Every structure is written in C-alpha cells, then in structure tokens.
Amino acid sequence: MPIQVTERGVNPFDMSGIVTGKDGIRRYESLPRSLVEMLSTRVAQHPAAEALAEVDGRRLTYQQLWDEASAVAGGLAAGGVSPGDRVAIFLPSGIDWVLGFLGTLLAGATAVPINTRLSEPEVQSILDDCKPGMVFRPTEPLPVGELTEVASPDHTDVAAIFYTSGTTGEPKGALQTHEGLLSNAETAVRAFDLDRNLPPAGLRTLISVPLFHVTGCHSQLLVALYLSGTAVILPALDVPRIITVVAEERINLMITVPAIYKLTITHDSYTPAAVESVRWVGYGGAPTSPELVREIQEAFPSARVFNGFGSTESSSLTSALPDEFAVDHVDSVGFAVPVIDLALDALDDRTGVGELLVRGPNVVPGYWNKPEKTAETIQDGWLHTGDLARIEDGLIYLADRIKDVVNRGGEKVFCIEVENALAGLGGVVESAVIGVPDSVMGEKVGAVVVTAETSPITADDIKAFLRDKVADYKVPEYVLVRSEPLPRNAGGKLRKPDLRATVEWGVPLR
C-alpha cells in the first residue's frame, strides 16, 4: 500500500519559528550554522561559566573548553588529519571524550565515536569501514598542537558518524550533519520544556549514559552546551553515586532508562531532599509501567517527567511524551516532536498498524560507504525505521520491530505489547517475548521473564496476570522464569536471536 501520511493531532510543543522548505521538510529558522559556530558563540557570551564537570575529575569553563579543544584540533592537523577525514573516538565517557569530539569538529573533521564495550574484532570492523585518519585511545594522550584556523562547517556537512548497534545485522555508520545535531538540540529544549532563561551554567544535566550513544551526546551534552549549561559526566554507572552527585552538583536534568530510576529511588541512600534540585526527568529505551512512572513522579516531586524516543538515524529524538500524558498513556512513546513528520507505510486497515516513517532535518542523509542500505532505509526523504506502529490522536504506539512479530496461525502478536504488559507485574525485572516454532500454528508465543532472585513468581502467575491484560492468543504458551539477565549486545540492545538459539522451552502451558 502507499504511504499513509499521518495528522499531527494534539500538539503539546512550541511550534513557533518553523518554516517549511521546498523539499517539504520543516526547519527551525534561527539555528547556528554549525556546532562550531554554536560553541564559539557560547564561549564569547559566557567564557567563565562552567561547561563541563567530570565526577571525581576535572572541571572546565567555556573558555577552557574552547582552548583545550582547539589544542586537540591543532594536534590533529599536525598529525596529518585534513578536513573531512574521520577521527575515531574510542574513549570512556569523560572530559577527554568531549575534547576529542569537539576538537575533531574544530579541525573540520568527522567524529566517529566507538562503543567501548565492543570486542576487538567489532572495533576493528568499524575502523576498517570508516578508515580514520587518527584514533583516540584510552592508553594514549590526546594530540596537542596549535590551531591555525578554526573550521567553518556548513549545515549540511557531516559532523559525526554514529554506528548503529547492529541488532539486525552488520553495524552501519549513520551520517549525522551539523544541522541534524543542532535541530535535535532545539527539539530537546522544546520537547523537554527546558527553561531558556536560566543563567549561564544554570542547566545542569547528569550524563550517566555513555557518550558514544546519541542520548548521551546529542540529547544531553550538546543540549547543555546549546543552552550555556553544564554537563556533569559520570564515567561509570554507579547508582549510589548518582544520588550523591545529584545532590552535590545541584543537578536539574536527568535522562536514563526506567530500570536505573527504579534502582535509584529504592536505594537505601535515596531521600527526597537529595533530589530536590531535579526539575526534568527523562526516560526511554525500555518498556515501563504506570506504577513505575507514578513512583518516579513521586520520588522527584519538583520534576516534570517525560519519555523520549528516537534512533541513531534520527540523530536522537523522534517523539516525546510530556509529563501530563506520562501515566495515562504510558504505553505510548509520545507525539512527534517539532519539525518531525510521521507516516505509516503498508498500513493494515484492520489493526491500524504500519511501518513508522520519519522525516525531518535531523534524519541522516544515509550510511557511510553503504549506498544499498541507504537506498533501502531512506526513500524520498523518509526514514524507514523498521518499527511497526499505530497513531491515535497524534500519539505513537509502537507495535514491534518488523522482524519481531509472532505469527500465531495468522494472528499477529506484537511482542512489545506483551512485554509492556509484563512490565506491570511486580517482581518482573525484564522480559523478552519471541516466537516458538510450531508445526500446526507456525509459531506460538514464548516469554523469557527475568525476576528478582527473591521473587516467588511462577509461570502460572505470569499467565494469570496477562489474561486480564492482553487478548487470549497473545498470552504466552511457553514461559521461562529465571533470574539470569537477558543477553544484550555491547550497546545494551536485547539480542533475541541468542534467545531463539539457546532457550529450551519444554512443554507448553496449555
């Protein structure tokens, strides 16, 4: 079927200052020309304001950030890196990571962050693909030299290549432009309802997710710099340390996955006073429940809670669910954010589900060195996400990944719907729903459910709970309860193929 372009429906975001180009794409009118221009402006405006703070490490003002990033850019030039060359950043989160990223941009080169959890062969595969002129490694100091000329990139120039996690195959390098990253920063301000009138260093965001992911880099680090704020970087995830850092650093913006909030607010060291400075709490990346959202709202009484959804190919944000919708529509990933248009392709008239397509200035122009994959994924300006979704009153409800639907005798079971339901059962830590081959039905529904070690939940308890939550044909006929975590790749994405290959289901429950 042809593409079905959706109506925006209810729109809770600021839509001022947006123009539509001849290509049909909406853009913000007053963005800086590049990230380099944005940073230089902030340095000129607030040179003494704190830009970066590494927990238990160094702190840099905006002027110091500029000077040290410029020295890295000079070191790159002295090392033979030319404008347009790739520079790989294989560093842990911290100030050096930021200096490497920004120094690369000041040199006119393209930053290629690499997941530090990847194996050596996986890292080498990325390096072989992008062929960087230099690699920043944790065992080596950043290059230092004199920068003779600051680069002046344009909107459409590629700023970074972020490699996808590869859950559907070989990792692909998504080409992210200066315009795309700046558009995402402006979008985050509007979608999160951040305060533009804070004083310099007034926005203080705690980055506890890796900087090699778009959430940490684009929707936290670059947003902080965009608003002349401070990015406080926690190099390694440590729940008790999160609580003390929030209090000590007067953090007012947090973004992480639901499970980390659960661990934080149930930790012995949590107190309401410790988090009283927090005004914005963002989550995403995993199913959650109305109960957990309410717990988060109660634990952060001064904060607005929001869900953010996006991808590497959209330079982070595609949609957001504001605080006032968070509990009643917890199964939704929200409304299309400003300058983003949505469409549904191959729409099923019966279910209202189709493949989610995204168009906007933050959608990548393609993949590095992969023209065939680019042609498959981006068509006429529309990003084919591979996600199945339906849209009601402007709200997006994910059904599943296209390749992650169980076909039970002709009845389509969207795995994420069952996983979302399971998230509401107390004692369930995480779950994965997959198809189990069946000679009669083709496939039946199976669920691997991870519970807390002390939880008494049984397979029968899970089935009984789900009977009131989903249609009977969606209730898993195979259930495996365990305390062992689900397999994930180096990017934290669930590896369902591993489950399909290793799980022994035994006898079905019905």
Alpha helices, DSSP H, located in 131-251: 178-191, 214-216, 222-226, 239-249
Q: What percent of the chain has pLDDT over 70?
A: 95
Check residue 507 and give its pLDDT: 67
Q: Is 111 helix (H, G, I), strand (E, B) or coil?
A: strand
Predicted TM-score (pTM) of the model is 0.84
CA dist., res. 497 & res. 167, Å (int): 9
Average pLDDT over residues 349-371: 95
Per-residue exposure over 487-496, b if at least 16 CB sit within 10 Å of its own CB, e if not: eebbbeebbb
Beta bridge partners of 356: 344
Check residue 167 and give its pLDDT: 45
Q: What's the pLDDT band for 1 if we cut at 50, 70, 90?
A: very low
Give the start-to-end residue ranges of the domains of the chain.
Answer: 4-399, 404-502
Q: Which tens digit of pLDDT belongs to each residue from 31-79?
A: 999 999 999 999 999 999 999 999 999 999 999 999 999 999 999 999 9
DSSP-assigned states of every residue in 232-262 = EE-SS--HHHHHHHHHHHT--EEEE-HHHHH
Residue 491 confidence (pLDDT) above 70:
no
Check residue 260 and give its pLDDT: 86
CA dist., res. 30 & res. 439, Å (int): 60
Residue 481 confidence (pLDDT) above 80:
yes
Check residue 408 and give its pLDDT: 83
Residue 382 φ/ψ, nearest 5 degrees: -100, 130
CATH for the stretch 404-502: 3.30.300.30
We find that the CATH architecture of domain 4-399 is 3-Layer(aba) Sandwich (3.40)
Q: Is 186 helix (H, G, I), strand (E, B) or coil?
A: helix
- Of residues 253 and 11, more confidence is placed in 253
CA dist., res. 127 & res. 79, Å (int): 18
CA dist., res. 365 & res. 161, Å (int): 11
Q: Which tens digit of pLDDT belongs to each residue from 110-151?
A: 999 998 888 788 889 899 999 999 999 999 999 999 999 999
- The residue among 424, 418, 416 whose CA lies nearest residue 477 is 418
Average pLDDT over residues 306-330: 94
Q: What's the pLDDT band for 258 if we cut at 50, 70, 90?
A: confident
Q: Mean pLDDT for the chain? A: 91
Strand pairing report for 442-451 and 18-20:
unpaired
Q: Which two tokens stand for residue 251?
A: 């953090």
Q: Which range among 218-232, 404-418, 425-439 has the greatest average pLDDT?
A: 218-232
CA 415 to chain centre: 20
Residue 274 φ/ψ, nearest 5 degrees: -70, -25
Residue 316 confidence (pLDDT) above 90:
yes
Average pLDDT over residues 225-252: 96
Check residue 168 and give its pLDDT: 45
Q: What's the pLDDT band for 506 if we cut at 50, 70, 90?
A: confident
Average pLDDT over residues 390-398: 92
Check residue 410 and give its pLDDT: 65
Q: Which two tokens stand for residue 443?
A: 């496939």
CA–CA distances in Å: residue 438 to residues 409, 411, 419, 432, 435: 9, 14, 21, 18, 9
Write the Ramachandran bin of 56: left for phi over 0, alpha for psi from -120 to 50, otherwise beta. left
- The residue among 172, 182, 57, 189 whose CA lies nearest residue 112 is 172
Check residue 292 and give its pLDDT: 87
Check residue 469 and give its pLDDT: 85
Q: Which two tokens stand for residue 400?
A: 């599943």
Confirm whether 4-399 and 404-502 share one CATH topology. no
Average pLDDT over residues 147-156: 95
The answer to whether 313 and 364 are in contact (CB under 8 A) is yes
